[in-house]
A = this chain, B = another copy of it.
Amino acid sequence: MPNKILVFQSDFGLLEGTVSQMHGIAMKVDPTLRIFDLTHLISKFNTWEASYSLYQTCHAWPEETVFVSVIDPGVGSSRVSVVAKTSAGHYIVTPDNGTLTHLKKHVGIEAVREIDEAVNRVKGSEKSHVFHGRDVYAYTGARLASGVIDFEGVGPAFPVQDIVMHKIIDPVIEADRVSGVLDIEDPHFGMVWTNIPLETFETLGIRFGDTVRTVIEHEGDEKYREVLTYCRTFSDVPKGEELVYNNELGKVAIATNLGSFVEKFGIKAGPAWKVSFDKLV
């Protein structure tokens, strides 16, 4: 029995009816579906952000939830359209363009099916080549979430090892230092989230209240150097001061209490932004 939950993500914005057409197509498939929006404000064409957002969010949803993710800079081109089943039991309907990177790396992809558009495409939509979010992805997602088709009904099997992946950098431990990269910034509150798991960080013997020398470099240029305290939560430091903490995903992160670290120091995120923490004794 499918759980009938269908969650949409895109870079379509909220200004007009693009997203609503996807909702409508899903309602045509099955009006008892439970429709949600993850976000439609992914930066335009940014498949890294799309991938991270799914990794950040899917785990909070019930097994069998179907996610439709439409960040699709190559819409209508030869890029493949797929449905991935994660090891946690979620389904992701998406173009195969890097959007599955973090789920594959951190959660695991159990199997992938390529969408057979002969079956899983809105009838009569064949002349449109620029809105597969509506004509293919929303439609296929709705059919899967409602039980009209099962996972096999999506189309032929696609090799998991062939999924398009962004490059992922792993954190490194040496002596009293752990280093990694700034994976993503919180675009609203302005924290930065590293790729360093809490467990890795704690193997250095760091506990709440300990201090760490925190250095951020961008392409070799030092952009930030400070001794910070590893805190339980933001308000463990005064307003406007910085801290290191465990974010909602079990990763080490850096914030300014009641302020924006990103704006205050001109820091961004991405593979070119390296971060290191040295335990101080």
A→B interface (CB under 8 Å): 3-5, 7, 12-25, 27-28, 31, 34-41, 44-45, 53-54, 56-58, 60-62, 65, 73-77, 127-131, 134, 186-189, 198, 232-236, 245-248, 250, 258
Contacts and interface: CB of A to CB of B under 8 A. Distances in A.
A60 B248 contact: no
- Best-surrounded residue of A22, A38, A54, A246 (most CB of chain B within 10 A): A38
Contact of A39 (B20, B188, B232): B20
A45 B188 contact: no
A53 B19 CA distance: 12
A269 to B, nearest CB: 12
Contacts of A18: 188, 248
A19 to B, nearest CB: 8
Contacts of A3: 27, 31
Contacts of A39: 14-17, 19-20
9 contacts: A3-B27, A14-B40, A16-B188, A27-B34, A28-B61, A28-B62, A73-B258, A75-B234, A134-B248
A198 B198 CA distance: 56
